[in-house]
Amino acid sequence: MGRVGSSYDNALAESFWQGLKRETMHGKLFSTMQQARQEIFRWLTYYNTRRRHSALDYLSPIEFEQQHHKTAKLQLTA
């Protein structure tokens, strides 16, 4: 945590919330709270499994994890 009101202190969190708002909620009106929750859950599932992240060399989290496990196994056997 950093200073109050400084988005530069917590850039990753700010980027996450900005992406959620832009990709999920911008310009949309939801009929019910349940519909909004489902859309956010859908986006979170996509973000955490398939969306490519620059911090992971533009791999999806699943691809990054698979690559990491493969590398770890090779190091253990060597």
What is the structure's pLDDT at 22? Answer: 92
Structural domain including 60 reads 7-77
How far is 72 from 10, CA to CA, in rounded Å? 31
Residues with pLDDT less than 50, the chain: none
Residue 27 is assigned to a structural domain of this protein? yes
Counting the structural domains of the chain, the total is 1
Residue 1 is assigned to a structural domain of this protein? no
Residue 2 is assigned to a structural domain of this protein? no
What is the structure's pLDDT at 30? Answer: 92
SS3 70: helix
Residue 30 is assigned to a structural domain of this protein? yes
Report the run of H or E that residue 77 belongs to, with start and end: helix 61-77
Burial 11-41 (b: 16+ CB within 10 A, else e): eeeeeeeeeeeeebeeeeeeeeeeeeeeeee
Residue 60 is assigned to a structural domain of this protein? yes
68 in Cβ contact with 59 (< 8 Å):
no
What is the structure's pLDDT at 58? Answer: 86
